Amino acid sequence: MNTTPANPRVARRLEGIALLLIAVSAILFQLAATRPWAEGRSALGNRLEVSPIGVADFGLSSDTARVQCRWWPRIGDPTLCEVAPDGQAAMTRLRRAYPLAVAALWTSVLALFLVALRVPRSAPFIGILATMAIPVLAVSSLWSLASSFTGALSALLGANMHVAQHGFASMFAGALMTAIAVGLLLVSGMIRSSARNLAPQ
């Protein structure tokens, strides 16, 4: 039974699902770039939140940040952003999380255009390569913050911190979605190539 005519339709469906996953991941990356990735209580009992752009101190019971310090851009209370002793390397990694998150966002947008418009037509694999870069950037952003926030700032020393679902989970979900999208695009490309090879000359 000849199934070649159905192959291009299957490839288009897989590509459509991949594009949807990339679009949703771009939204998740945009949300994750400024939401808290870690939260907890300081040694003094203050509620703290750490995001890729800075740290916020809510005090003992406030729902509004009492003190904030941001490193993207540099504003707020510098004492809250005081680097811990021997924490400079960790702080460097911590400050890398935001640029990597933004790079994942804009690479997602670029991949959408490259894959959807098949630009350039002579090298359609460029869109797949751009899509492959997205989960790498997202995981690098996750690692930059997760591996460094507890040792980077004096305000966080001795704090009881844990992962905040809003930001961290959004970034993780975006990374997972784009990794799945890469697989779908690779399968779609193989189906299209097979269909071309089986087509009558």
pTM (global) more than 0.95: no
Q: Report pLDDT for 4.
A: 46
Secondary structure class of 197 (helix, strand, coil) = helix
What's the confidence (pLDDT) of residue 166?
83
Q: Which domains does the chain have, with CATH numbers?
A: 6-35+83-153+165-198 (1.20.120)
Residue pair 171/142 in contact (Cβ under 8 Å)? The answer is yes
Tell me the C-alpha distance between 80 and 73, whole Å.
15
Give residue 196's pLDDT: 66
Low-confidence stretches of the chain (pLDDT beneath 50) = 1-4
